[in-house]
């Protein structure tokens, strides 16, 4: 699943301060500007609710990346 609209959304949020602020306060209004599928919208909103913008390592991100999340052991 490659989604150019999803890439464009993330790029705009991270590149443009005004859009970022708008996304933080009213994500739906920003999502409406991009041609995302309903499933993509749902996942973007869920990720935002769970983690906010992932701009640095955080306990929430670490929790999402459960150490046993992969069937391969992590490379030290």
Would you tell me which residues interact with other proteins (CB under 8 A)?
1-2, 6-7, 10-11, 13-15, 39-40, 42-44, 46-47, 50-51, 53-57, 61-62, 64-76
Strand (E) or helix (H) holding 22: helix 17-25
**CA 8: distance to chain centroid?**
12
Nearer to other proteins, 32 or 45 (CB): 45
Nearer to other proteins, 25 or 68 (CB): 68
Tokens 């443009």 sit at which residue? Answer: 16
Contact 45, 31 (CB under 8 A): yes
Nearer to other proteins, 32 or 53 (CB): 53
């Amino acid at each position: 699943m490659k989604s150019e609209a999803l890439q464009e959304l993330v790029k705009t949020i991270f590149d443009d301060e005004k859009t970022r602020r708008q996304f933080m306060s009213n994500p739906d209004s920003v999502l409406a500007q991009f041609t995302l599928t309903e499933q993509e919208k749902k996942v973007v909103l869920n990720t935002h609710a769970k983690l906010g913008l992932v701009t640095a390592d955080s306990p929430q991100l670490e929790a999402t990346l459960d150490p046993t999340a992969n069937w391969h052991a992590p490379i030290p």
